[in-house]
Chain A
Amino acid sequence: MNSTPRLEAKGVTMRFGGLTALADIDLAVPAGQIVGLVGPNGAGKSTLFGVLSGLLKPTTGTVLMDGEDVTATSPQLRARRGLARTFQHPELFSSLTVREHLSLAYRVRHTKSRILSDLVTGRGLFPKKDAEEDARVDELLGELNLTSIQHSAVVGLPLGTSRLVEIGRALATDPKVMLMDEPSSGLDVSESDDLASTMRKVVAERGVSLLFVEHDVPMVLGLCDHVYVIDFGQKIAEGNPDEIRANAAVRAAYIGEESEEITINEDDAVLAATSGGDRS
Chain B
Amino acid sequence: MLSYILAGLATGSIFAIAAGSLVITYVASGVFNLAFAAMAFTVARVYYQLHVESGWGIAPAAFVSLVVFAPLMGAVLYLVLFRFLQGRSTIIKLMATLGLSVALPPLVELVLGKLTANTAPGLAPVPLKVFRFAGATVNADQVAMYIGLLVVLVVGVGVLRFTDIGLKVRALVDSGALTSLSGTNPGRVSMGVWAVSTMLAGLTGILVAPTSGLSVAGMTPLMTTAFAAVVAARLKNLPVAMGVGLLIGLAGAVPQKWIDPNSSFSHYFLPCIPFIFMLAALVYFAVRGQTGDQATGGALDRAIAVEGGDSSVVPSAGLKIGRFPLPVVLSVVFVVVVGLLPQVFNTYWAGLTASGIVLAIVLLSYTLVTGEGGMLWLCQISFAGFGAILVAELATLRGWDPIVATLVGPLVAIPIGLLIGALTIRLGELYIALVTLTVALLAQTLVITQTRWYNFGSGTPVSRPSFALDNKAFIYLALAVFLAVALLVVNLRRSTAGLALGAVRWSENGARTIGLSVLQSKLLVSALAAYVATLGGAFIAMNNQTTLPDFFQPFTGLVWLAVLMTLGSRSVMAALVTGLLYYYMPALFQQYLPTSLGEVPIILFGLGAVALATHPEGAFSQIAGDMTKKRAKKATAKSPTPPPTPPASPTSTTSEPAVAGRHA
Produce 1/0 per residue, B621-664, CB < 8 A to A.
Answer: 00000000000000000000000111111011111111110000
Residue contact B513 to A158, C-beta cutoff 8 Å: no
Checking B515, B646, B653 against A108 with a beta-carbon cut-off of 8 angstroms, the contacting residue is: B515
Instruction: Pick from B158-166, B345-353, B433-441, B494-502 the stretch touching chain A.
Output: B494-502
Q: Could you tell me the distance in whole angstroms from the C-beta of A14 to the nearest C-beta in chain B? A: 14
Contacts of B596 in A (CB 8 A): none
Residue contact A156 to B499, C-beta cutoff 8 Å: no
A172 to B510, CA, bound (A): 13
Nearest to B649 among chain A residues (CB) is A158
Q: Could you tell me the distance in whole angstroms from the C-beta of A263 to the nearest C-beta in chain B? A: 33
Produce 1/0 per residue, A202-236, CB < 8 A to B.
Answer: 00000000000000000000000000000000000
Query: Beyond A122-B491, A158-B649, is A97–B514 a contact (Cβ under 8 Å)?
Result: no
Checking A75, A115, A158, A159 against B500 with a beta-carbon cut-off of 8 angstroms, the contacting residue is: A115
Residue contact A156 to B652, C-beta cutoff 8 Å: yes
Residue contact B496 to A149, C-beta cutoff 8 Å: no
Q: Could you tell me the distance in whole angstroms from the C-beta of B507 to the nearest C-beta in chain A? A: 4
Residue contact A156 to B506, C-beta cutoff 8 Å: no
Residue contact A104 to B660, C-beta cutoff 8 Å: no
A18 sits at the interface (CB 8 A): no
Instruction: Pick from A31-39, A59-67, A77-85, A191-199 the stretch touching chain B.
Output: A77-85
A104 to B517, CA, bound (A): 13
A186 sits at the interface (CB 8 A): yes
B308 sits at the interface (CB 8 A): yes
Checking B494, B503, B507 against A127 with a beta-carbon cut-off of 8 angstroms, the contacting residue is: B494
Residue contact B510 to A156, C-beta cutoff 8 Å: no
A158 to B494, CA, bound (A): 26
Interface residues in A136-156 (C-beta closer than 8 Å to B): 148-149, 152-156
Checking A155, A172, A173, A186 against B308 with a beta-carbon cut-off of 8 angstroms, the contacting residue is: A155
Checking B491, B514, B658 against A156 with a beta-carbon cut-off of 8 angstroms, the contacting residue is: B658
Interface residues in A74-122 (C-beta closer than 8 Å to B): 74-76, 79-80, 83-85, 87, 90-97, 100, 103-105, 107-109, 111-112, 114-116, 118-119, 122
Nearest to A118 among chain B residues (CB) is B495
Interface-centre pick from A103, A114, A119 (highest chain B CB count, 10 A)? A119
Query: Beyond A74-B512, A76-B516, A124-B494, is A94–B307 a contact (Cβ under 8 Å)?
Result: yes
Residue contact A156 to B503, C-beta cutoff 8 Å: no
Residue contact B653 to A96, C-beta cutoff 8 Å: no
Residue contact A154 to B653, C-beta cutoff 8 Å: yes
B505 sits at the interface (CB 8 A): yes
Residue contact B499 to A109, C-beta cutoff 8 Å: no
Residue contact B507 to A91, C-beta cutoff 8 Å: yes
A184 sits at the interface (CB 8 A): no
Nearest to A152 among chain B residues (CB) is B645
Query: Beyond A87-B509, A95-B660, is A173–B645 a contact (Cβ under 8 Å)?
Result: no
Contacts of A45 in B (CB 8 A): none
Residue contact A119 to B492, C-beta cutoff 8 Å: yes
A200 sits at the interface (CB 8 A): no
A105 to B496, CA, bound (A): 10
Checking A95, A104, A166 against B313 with a beta-carbon cut-off of 8 angstroms, the contacting residue is: A95
A160 to B586, CA, bound (A): 52
Q: Could you tell me the distance in whole angstroms from the C-beta of A120 to the nearest C-beta in chain B? A: 9
A96 to B487, CA, bound (A): 20
Contacts of B514 in A (CB 8 A): 79, 84, 104-105, 108-109, 169-170, 172-173
A71 sits at the interface (CB 8 A): no
Residue contact B495 to A119, C-beta cutoff 8 Å: yes
Nearest to B509 among chain A residues (CB) is A91
Q: Is the interface of A mostly helix, strand, loop or mixed?
A: mixed
Nearest to B570 among chain A residues (CB) is A95
A148 to B659, CA, bound (A): 14
Residue contact B502 to A155, C-beta cutoff 8 Å: no
Checking A55, A76, A122, A154 against B515 with a beta-carbon cut-off of 8 angstroms, the contacting residue is: A76
A186 to B307, CA, bound (A): 19
Contacts of A116 in B (CB 8 A): 497, 524
A161 sits at the interface (CB 8 A): yes
Interface residues in B495-544 (C-beta closer than 8 Å to A): 495-500, 502-503, 505-507, 509-517, 520-521, 524
A125 sits at the interface (CB 8 A): yes
Residue contact A95 to B502, C-beta cutoff 8 Å: yes
Residue contact B494 to A125, C-beta cutoff 8 Å: yes
A159 to B513, CA, bound (A): 20
B93 sits at the interface (CB 8 A): no
Nearest to B289 among chain A residues (CB) is A57
Residue contact A96 to B495, C-beta cutoff 8 Å: no
Residue contact A159 to B649, C-beta cutoff 8 Å: yes
Contacts of A115 in B (CB 8 A): 496-497, 500, 520-521, 524
Nearest to A106 among chain B residues (CB) is B514
A246 sits at the interface (CB 8 A): no
Checking B496, B520, B653 against A92 with a beta-carbon cut-off of 8 angstroms, the contacting residue is: B653
A10 sits at the interface (CB 8 A): no
Residue contact B654 to A95, C-beta cutoff 8 Å: no
A162 sits at the interface (CB 8 A): yes
A97 to B494, CA, bound (A): 12
Residue contact A94 to B506, C-beta cutoff 8 Å: yes
Contacts of B307 in A (CB 8 A): 94
A54 to B520, CA, bound (A): 18
Residue contact B652 to A96, C-beta cutoff 8 Å: no
Q: Could you tell me the distance in whole angstroms from the C-beta of A253 to the nearest C-beta in chain B? A: 24
A149 to B648, CA, bound (A): 13
A53 sits at the interface (CB 8 A): yes
B493 sits at the interface (CB 8 A): yes
Q: Could you tell me the distance in whole angstroms from the C-beta of A155 to the nearest C-beta in chain B? A: 5
Nearest to A90 among chain B residues (CB) is B653
B490 sits at the interface (CB 8 A): yes
A264 sits at the interface (CB 8 A): no
Q: Could you tell me the distance in whole angstroms from the C-beta of A240 to the nearest C-beta in chain B? A: 29
Residue contact B513 to A75, C-beta cutoff 8 Å: yes
B578 sits at the interface (CB 8 A): no
B312 sits at the interface (CB 8 A): yes
Residue contact A153 to B659, C-beta cutoff 8 Å: yes
Nearest to B314 among chain A residues (CB) is A95
Query: Beyond A103-B499, A115-B496, A124-B493, is A95–B646 a contact (Cβ under 8 Å)?
Result: no
A53 to B488, CA, bound (A): 35
Query: Beyond A115-B496, A158-B646, is A84–B513 a contact (Cβ under 8 Å)?
Result: yes
Nearest to B491 among chain A residues (CB) is A124
A123 sits at the interface (CB 8 A): yes
Residue contact A93 to B503, C-beta cutoff 8 Å: yes
Residue contact A155 to B660, C-beta cutoff 8 Å: yes
Contacts of B520 in A (CB 8 A): 115
Interface-centre pick from A54, A75, A154 (highest chain B CB count, 10 A)? A75
Q: Could you tell me the distance in whole angstroms from the C-beta of B195 to the nearest C-beta in chain A? A: 35
List 27 A–B pairs whose Cβ atoms lie within 8 Å, in order of A's numbering.
Answer: A55-B513, A75-B513, A76-B516, A79-B512, A84-B513, A84-B514, A91-B507, A92-B653, A94-B307, A96-B502, A105-B514, A108-B514, A111-B496, A114-B496, A119-B491, A124-B495, A125-B490, A125-B491, A148-B644, A154-B653, A155-B313, A156-B647, A156-B652, A156-B657, A158-B649, A169-B510, A173-B515
20 further A-B contacts with Cβ under 8 Å, apart from A152-B659, A155-B654, A157-B652, are A53-B513, A74-B517, A83-B513, A87-B510, A92-B507, A93-B507, A94-B656, A96-B506, A96-B660, A107-B496, A108-B500, A108-B516, A109-B514, A118-B495, A124-B492, A124-B493, A124-B495, A153-B659, A162-B653, A166-B510
The 7 A-B pairs of least Cβ separation, nearest first, read A91-B510, A124-B495, A118-B495, A124-B494, A79-B515, A156-B658, A124-B491
**Interface residues of B, Cβ cutoff 8 Å to A:** 307-308, 312-313, 487-488, 490-500, 502-503, 505-507, 509-517, 520-521, 524, 644-649, 651-660
**Interface residues of A, Cβ cutoff 8 Å to B:** 53-55, 74-76, 79-80, 83-85, 87, 90-97, 100, 103-105, 107-109, 111-112, 114-116, 118-119, 122-125, 127, 148-149, 152-159, 161-162, 166, 169-170, 172-173, 186
